[in-house]
């Protein structure tokens, strides 16, 4: 039976680089490995062919002979008997390296610390004006006894398990699988004389008090970064950062929407009818607001520049006052009589004193007339 072309077996072009050949082999070896295709004899045979093709094409001398003579050139003995590419065990170890946490190469002892998050609740007044406050953050800091090294003397020894490589190989039948060293966890070194204060970790638990400057105009969802105030790094590595997450509490009077503030302002029936002047609260003090006669519920009055100056810049927002006309309650008999007289006077003279009501009633009448026709 004629053998399949090795380039076709590995699904690469004839001018493929060594890197492309190795990458194709790793992919196909994973796909057709017998352990992943139990009970499939075709896959096992395919796996053997892939292995054979890679053994030839990964060796510069054998590949040159194959390119010139094809499979016939492989029947002749090649000097040296050793191909220049990676061995099958090494390549397959690379394939499984990511699965078992291996990496190939010594890990670094010094690593950056984790970032931290602190949730800070603010009143609307403090968020708008800005402030400086102090927060207490539970964290881990670099041990002062060993300066973060974890060792009394500040030195560490070579790991005897992996010989300082940070990786160990485990033989599984014909395969050699590379894993992170369980003793040193990939660092390649171990501490011979652990620090008594931190027990060799290089870190200790602590609570830091930090001053945080809150810029004017912050809003819920904004973050303030404090560089280097996070968790301490391993073995003297740099600390992470602390992120202060801002949350602005609900306000009793105002509602914020970006740069603008909103407030509902109840007024009496008499003020809405005849007009008047009201004192309106703002975040910087009271201001006078003129209410014109015949003001309706839902009317918005804009007080320019009485809103918020946003932290990212731009013009100061406005304060929007929404009118809510209150219906009188707990009327006396005399007051009810006066209201009835007023209502009666509205129905005489032909003037429409309730334009919205009359317009709505006209619309209802027109609706029913269309239904009848």
Residue 109 lies inside a defined structural domain of this protein: no
What is each CA distance from 334 to 234, 274, 338, in whole angstroms? 83, 21, 6
Out of 78-87, 198-207, 225-234, pick the least confident.
Answer: 78-87
Please tell me whether residues 121 and 219 are part of one structural domain. yes
- pLDDT tens for 8-25 read 999 999 888 988 998 898
Residue 1 lies inside a defined structural domain of this protein: no
pLDDT confidence of 235, banded at 50, 70, 90? low
More confident residue, 99 or 74: 74
What is the average pLDDT value for the chain, to the nearest integer?
A: 81
pLDDT confidence of 260, banded at 50, 70, 90? very high
Out of 57-61, 210-214, 293-297, 330-334, pick the least confident.
Answer: 57-61
Buried b (16+ CB within 10 A) or exposed e, 65-79: bbeeeeeeebeeeee
pLDDT recorded at residue 293: 94
Long-range contacts of 356-365 (CB under 8 A, 24+ apart): 356/296
- Taking the alpha carbons at both ends of the chain, their separation in whole angstroms is 92
Residue 180 near residue 133 (C-beta atoms within 8 A): no
Please tell me whether residues 123 and 166 are part of one structural domain. yes
pLDDT confidence of 175, banded at 50, 70, 90? low
pLDDT confidence of 173, banded at 50, 70, 90? low
pLDDT recorded at residue 68: 77
Residue 340 lies inside a defined structural domain of this protein: yes
Residue 14 lies inside a defined structural domain of this protein: yes
pLDDT recorded at residue 128: 94
Question: Rounded CA gap, 139 and 117, in Å?
Answer: 11
How many C-beta atoms surround the C-beta of residue 338 within 10 A? 12
Please state the rounded mean pLDDT for residues 162-170. Answer: 76
pLDDT recorded at residue 357: 66
Domain boundary among 309, 325, 341: 325
What number of residues does the chain have?
Answer: 373
Please tell me whether residues 176 and 290 are part of one structural domain. no
pLDDT confidence of 219, banded at 50, 70, 90? very high
Look at residue 94 and tell me whether its pLDDT is greater than 50: no
Please state the rounded mean pLDDT for residues 54-81. Answer: 72
58 lies in which domain range?
Answer: 6-86
Please tell me whether residues 124 and 243 are part of one structural domain. yes
Residue 314 lies inside a defined structural domain of this protein: yes
Residue 217 lies inside a defined structural domain of this protein: yes
Out of 14-28, 86-100, 177-191, pick the least confident.
Answer: 86-100
CATH classification at residue 290: 2.60.260.20
Q: In the numeric block, which tokens belong to residue 106?
A: 């010594």
C-alpha closest to that of 137 among 111, 162, 117: 117
pLDDT recorded at residue 215: 94
Query: Which of 103-112, 195-204, 321-330 has maximum average pLDDT?
Result: 321-330
Residue 93 lies inside a defined structural domain of this protein: no
pLDDT recorded at residue 95: 44
pLDDT confidence of 142, banded at 50, 70, 90? confident
- Overall domain count for the chain: 4
Question: Rounded CA gap, 189 and 166, in Å?
Answer: 8
Question: Rounded CA gap, 278 and 276, in Å?
Answer: 7
For residue 331, what is the DSSP state? -
Percent of the chain with pLDDT over 90: 35
Percent of the chain with pLDDT over 70: 83
Look at residue 332 and tell me whether its pLDDT is greater than 80: yes
Question: Rounded CA gap, 255 and 241, in Å?
Answer: 32
Out of 92-96, 124-128, 263-267, 322-326, pick the least confident.
Answer: 92-96
């Amino acid at each position: 039976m004629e053998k399949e072309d090795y380039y076709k077996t590995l699904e690469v072009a004839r001018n493929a680089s060594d890197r492309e050949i190795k990458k194709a082999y790793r992919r196909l070896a994973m796909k057709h490995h017998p352990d992943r295709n139990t009970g499939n004899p075709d896959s096992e045979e395919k796996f053997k062919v892939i292995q054979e093709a890679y053994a030839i094409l990964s060796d510069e001398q054998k590949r040159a002979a194959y390119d010139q003579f094809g499979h016939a050139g492989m029947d002749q003995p090649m000097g040296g008997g050793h191909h220049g590419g990676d061995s099958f065990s090494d390549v397959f170890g690379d394939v499984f390296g990511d699965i078992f946490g291996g990496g190939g190469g010594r890990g670094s002892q010094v690593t950056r610390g984790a970032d931290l998050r602190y949730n800070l609740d603010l009143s609307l007044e403090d968020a708008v004006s800005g402030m400086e406050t102090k927060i207490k953050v539970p964290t881990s800091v670099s041990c002062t006894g060993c300066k973060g090294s974890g060792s009394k003397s500040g030195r560490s020894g070579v790991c005897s398990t992996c010989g300082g490589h940070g990786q160990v190989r485990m033989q599984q039948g014909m395969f050699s699988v590379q894993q992170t060293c369980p003793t040193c966890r990939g660092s390649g070194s171990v501490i011979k004389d652990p620090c008594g204060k931190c027990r060799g970790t290089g870190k200790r638990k602590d609570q830091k008090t930090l001053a945080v400057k809150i810029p004017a105009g912050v809003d819920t969802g904004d973050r303030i970064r404090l560089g280097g105030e996070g968790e301490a790094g391993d073995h003297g590595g740099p600390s992470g950062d602390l992120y202060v997450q801002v949350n602005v509490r609900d306000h009793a009077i105002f509602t914020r929407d970006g740069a603008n503030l909103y407030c509902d302002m109840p007024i009496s029936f008499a003020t809405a009818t005849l007009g008047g002047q009201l004192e309106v609260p703002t975040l910087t003090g009271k201001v006078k607001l003129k209410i014109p006669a015949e003001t309706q519920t839902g009317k918005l009055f804009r007080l320019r520049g009485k809103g918020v100056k946003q932290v990212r810049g731009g013009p100061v927002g406005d304060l929007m006052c929404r009118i809510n006309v209150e219906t009188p309650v707990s009327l006396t008999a005399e007051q009810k009589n006066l209201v009835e007289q007023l209502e009666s006077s509205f129905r005489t003279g032909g003037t429409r004193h309730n334009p919205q009501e009359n317009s709505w009633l006209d619309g209802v009448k027109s609706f029913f007339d269309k239904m009848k026709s």
